[in-house]
Amino acid sequence: MSGLIPLTGRELKKWYRNPVFLFTGLIQPFFWLALFGSAIDLSKFLGVIPGGQVGAIFDGAANYITFILGGVLVITSLFTAMFSGVNIIWDRRLGPMGRFLTSPIRRSSIVFSKILSAMVRILIQVAILIGAAFLVPNGLVLANGFSIEGGLVLITAVVLVALIFTSIFSVIAVRLKDMNTIFGIINLVNLPLLFMSYAMFPAGMMANWLGDAAKYNPVSWAAESIRTVIINGTVIPSQAGNVTLWLGSLAILAAGLILLSYFVAEGEIRD
């Protein structure tokens, strides 16, 4: 795809050449884990004794941080992906978009460069989060080890969520010129996607209607897939069907949205 690699490199240079943006982007995942996982530890609110009933409440996880790590990885991916579309509006307002459109590149390359650069940033954040999870007090416990298969499931889930939401917000940004509008949309949907999912809370602790709605949330599919392999070390036979369904559904949704991004970019990017 003409222009994709140079444009992706441009986006990444904008990221790592801005010290404040780079630092906040890398440290933010740690705050998610340390503050939410440690300060809002549900096992403390429930009066659970470490080593006692934790596993029964948290699907076999040794502690709350182990339980929510998959959710935090997905939420970090979600939030970074949401803001990827903002750069399209900045390029339009500050002038680079006009230069792109007079260059011999495909218009879809402009959008896909934002998607690819966001995915690179997300994968770096994920690596930092996993390392931080071992360092925080009462942190990540891999009671059953971790397999290559488990690592592939984790990366696949994160990448698919990134593709889904970068595509959605890139399509939205292509059709917008007002920065405030996209920020309003982001603020409108991020909390429902977070709290109407299994990212931070066991299904048994949610209201029935909320738990039912969470079953259809892509954030839940990704978080549960990652949680399964973190807790069990790999995809256990009893969960293989669920993980396959969750990842398959994410893949179908991601493929459809990538195609939509392509056609919208080719047809709608004009100035």
So where are the chain's domains? Answer: 4-268
Contact yes or no for 122/80 (Cβ under 8 A): yes
Number of helices followed by number of strands (H, E) in the chain:
13, 0
Contact yes or no for 218/250 (Cβ under 8 A): yes
Q: What is the pLDDT of residues 84-114, one digit of tens each?
A: 777 777 777 766 666 666 677 777 888 888 8
What is the reported pLDDT for 43?
60
Crossing angle of helices 107-135 and 19-31, rounded to 10°: 50
Percent of the chain with pLDDT over 90: 20
Confidence of residue 159 (pLDDT cuts 50, 70, 90): very high
pLDDT at 79 > cutoff 60: yes
Confidence of residue 49 (pLDDT cuts 50, 70, 90): very low
Beta-carbon count within 10 A of 114 CB: 27
Instruction: State the Cα–Cα distance between residues 183 and 181, nearest whole angstrom.
Output: 5
Query: Looking at residues 63-68, what average pLDDT do you find?
Result: 85
Instruction: State the Cα–Cα distance between residues 146 and 51, nearest whole angstrom.
Output: 21
Q: Is 22 exposed, middle or buried (0-12, 13-18, 19+ CB in 10 A)?
A: middle
- The whole-chain average pLDDT of the chain stands at 81
Contact yes or no for 84/115 (Cβ under 8 A): yes
Q: What's the predicted TM-score (pTM) here?
A: 0.86
Confidence of residue 54 (pLDDT cuts 50, 70, 90): low
